[in-house]
Structure 1
Amino acid sequence: MSSTSAAFPPNFGNEICIGHDVDFDRIKSRMTCSKFHDSVWGLVIYRCSQGHQSAWDRLLQGLRNDVRQSAEYYNREEVLQFHDLHAIDDKRLYGATSHQVREHFQSWVPKNLEDRIRPDAVDFKKDKCWDIDWLRATSTPRYEYCLFADDICLESVDQPGLDLPVVKILWKDWESPWSPEEMSRPVPAPFHDGVTEYWEEDVGWMYMPLLDYVGNYHVLGKCFWEDQYVRPPYMDGSEDETNFVGYWRKKSSSEEANQADRERPLSTEQSSR
């Protein structure tokens, strides 16, 4: 398969999972259980870029605005008090790869669950695997997926585009089928991660427009990752190289090259003509 065939990925998601209505009742029913002292929904987001402080702040605000606007649209403002976009801004994670973010998230999940358990919860370790409420509350998108924002995501905050800004959404339980040596190979164009030139390759994360935050939380709460996955930089299959995430970097490089050509001094032969 040639790299040109990568320009024809499938449409995002499938017919079973795609829907315009957000089921807030489903979200509410899975944000607590009898062993928890609180009720929470929403994703964790990691900052993986040292700069772009203003963009980071605006990105977080954009995600929270999507929650507020969605709740208002469905007349479900009561869910706002339970939403927690848990931001992790740790300098040790600046520049982290998706694999490093996943490793941190995998350790964060059990610690967060432990912190939510009521002190008087009895026989927790013994019966948790048979507690339906526990299983429902711990298999929500909050504990299966997380967001992270690197340089390219924070750059997208200041770029024009229908699906911009974006963040990256990551599946916690994804496992690479490739060896470390294979994963160190150059990424085939036009993709932003991976080993092969096939758009079917699952790299464990994908781009998500900020405006799809609540919608994706709802969809991933009832469907499988594989049903929704599109290999980056694609998001819905309609993109081309002029509007891929990161198109501005290519444009900037081209402009810099043109500027350098204009500023390059004439050779002796050229100047004598």
Structure 2
Amino acid sequence: MRLLHRLTIPRKPIVNPRPHGPHFHPWYNIPQKDTNRVTIPKSPPLTDVSLNFPPDLLRRNQENYLTYISRLLQRFNGRTWGFPIFRAFSTSASTAEVKEKLWSAYLLNLYRGVYTSFREHENFRAGQAQLNPIHTNALFPRFYCPVIQPDVPILDMNRDGGAGIGPATRDAIRNRFATWVSNTTEERDGPGAVAMRDADTPQYRMCLIVDDYCLEQFQAAQTDEERHGAPIIVLERDWTLDKYRGFYRAEWTDGETHKEPPDEPSEEEWEPEDENLLTFFEEVEGSRAPLLGWMYARSNCLGSLYATVEEDKYHSAFYHAYARPPGIYPDDCDAAWKYRW
């Protein structure tokens, strides 16, 4: 269906070879000791991270999300990139200690997963073993996801009866996120932060949420050391159904339904003959809207997601990246093998 295809990734991403068969390259094995050096940063890197990027990392003639993020930071003299994270999982007196340990493990896994993805991406593009990962070492230290402990009620029941966050609580998180954005200062977020906020860069357009489902899926995958990814919720700050209504083609969409045009006849001349030509999306939390203002992503894909969101300046932040739940970003089957959780 055209609308869904348009709303997912429009360009085929760079695909890393599977870790078996004739295309396997040994330099994809990131040394465990390198990954173990990655820890959860206690604060944003305000002044202790070099502003200098390797010249080849900033070249304009390569489609590379490491380059894309580096050039964005250079433009604003920015110190950090990444999305703020909201904790939205339930706890009780009997589960608090276990949940806190699981949360710490999840967050560490997120940083190590992004680091590993950077190393693999850099090695793949170089086509040779990288004993000194220059690009990763220049950009990854600037990756920082501030954890926001919300002062609003966030616990609810999803419409399927499972524990998690519902539509009403997502709105509460949006309000808290909007306040966090408006309170941006260079003292809190580092040099360049105010300019990046005013330019509506990705960390001020979208935030992340970790709920019970995310933690449960992460915990279930702990037996597989190769799995760095874990599900995480991505939430758009400025979202209403009216924001989507008709922006793709006004005569095709009303925000809740999509009229699917034929493949061959002129799309400009096509008119629906009856309601059988209306394609209804599966209901998610009571809504059939094509876009919901949130989606699932793999936590180790935050670098490519950040660059993709930055490309969308005029429509929904999900325009290129969107995967309608229960789908997940990235949704390309060939590229997703190493991101499963």
TM-score in same-fold range (> 0.5): yes
Pairing 1:14–2:6 present: no
Instruction: State the match for 2:71 in structure 1.
Output: 29
* Alignment TM-score, normalising by the size of structure 2: 0.50
Instruction: State the match for 2:118 in structure 1.
Output: 71
Asked if the contact 1:194/1:203 (under 8 Å) is kept, the reply is no
Q: Which moved more, 1:12-21 or 1:56-65?
A: 12-21
2:213 paired residue among 147, 152, 156: 152
Q: How does 1:209-248 map to 2 (within 5 A)?
A: 209-223=298-312, 224-235=317-328, 236=331
Shift, 1:232, TM fit: 0.9
Instruction: State the match for 1:40 in structure 2.
Output: 80
Q: Does the C-alpha gap of structure 1 residues 152 and 11 become closer, same or farther in structure 2, counting only changes over 3 Å?
A: farther
Instruction: State the match for 1:170 in structure 2.
Output: 235
Q: Does the C-alpha gap of structure 1 residues 83 and 135 become closer, same or farther in structure 2, counting only changes over 3 Å?
A: closer
Q: What is the CA–CA distance in structure 2 between the aligned matches of 1:53 and 1:189, rounded to whole Å?
A: 37
Instruction: State the match for 2:30 in structure 1.
Output: none
* Alignment TM-score, normalising by the size of structure 1: 0.61
Pairing 1:101–2:173 present: yes
Q: Which has the larger radius of gyration?
A: 1
Asked if the contact 1:44/1:86 (under 8 Å) is kept, the reply is yes
Q: Does the C-alpha gap of structure 1 residues 22 and 47 become closer, same or farther in structure 2, counting only changes over 3 Å?
A: farther
* Residues 206-243 of structure 1: CA deviation (Å, up to 9, x unaligned): 001123222212222224522221221122387xxxxx
Counting aligned pairs with the same residue, the percent is: 21
Letter in 2 for 1:209: R
Shift, 1:163, TM fit: 9.6
Letter in 2 for 1:201: P
Shift, 1:87, TM fit: 1.1
Instruction: State the match for 2:296 in structure 1.
Output: 207
Instruction: State the match for 1:182 in structure 2.
Output: none
Instruction: State the match for 2:271 in structure 1.
Output: none
* Residues 51-74 of structure 1: CA deviation (Å, up to 9, x unaligned): 332332122112101222233332
Pairing 1:49–2:89 present: yes
Q: Does the C-alpha gap of structure 1 residues 55 and 72 become closer, same or farther in structure 2, counting only changes over 3 Å?
A: same
For the residue of structure 1 that corresponds to 2:73, the secondary structure is coil
**Between structures 1 and 2, the one with greater helix share:** 1
Q: What is the CA–CA distance in structure 2 between the aligned matches of 1:194 and 1:44, rounded to whole Å?
A: 27
Instruction: State the match for 2:108 in structure 1.
Output: 61
1:80 paired residue among 128, 131, 140: 140
Q: What is the CA–CA distance in structure 2 between the aligned matches of 1:55 and 1:99, rounded to whole Å?
A: 26
Q: What is the CA–CA distance in structure 1 between the aligned matches of 2:113 and 2:293, rounded to whole Å?
A: 24
Q: What is the CA–CA distance in structure 1 between the aligned matches of 2:105 and 2:138, rounded to whole Å?
A: 24
Letter in 2 for 1:49: F
Instruction: State the match for 2:38 in structure 1.
Output: none
Q: Does the C-alpha gap of structure 1 residues 150 and 190 become closer, same or farther in structure 2, counting only changes over 3 Å?
A: farther
Q: What is the CA–CA distance in structure 1 between the aligned matches of 2:332 and 2:142, rounded to whole Å?
A: 34
Instruction: State the match for 1:195 in structure 2.
Output: 287
Q: What is the CA–CA distance in structure 2 between the aligned matches of 1:149 and 1:117, rounded to whole Å?
A: 22
For the residue of structure 2 that corresponds to 1:227, the secondary structure is coil
Q: What is the CA–CA distance in structure 2 between the aligned matches of 1:230 and 1:70, rounded to whole Å?
A: 20
For the residue of structure 2 that corresponds to 1:78, the secondary structure is helix
Q: What is the CA–CA distance in structure 2 between the aligned matches of 1:135 and 1:213, rounded to whole Å?
A: 18
The alignment's C-alpha RMSD in Å is 3.8
Asked if the contact 1:191/1:233 (under 8 Å) is kept, the reply is no
Shift, 1:18, TM fit: 4.2
Letter in 1 for 2:117: S
Higher relative contact order (CA 8 A, sep 6+): 1
Asked if the contact 1:102/1:172 (under 8 Å) is kept, the reply is yes
Q: What is the CA–CA distance in structure 1 between the aligned matches of 2:177 and 2:150, rounded to whole Å?
A: 13
Number of residue pairs matched by the alignment: 206
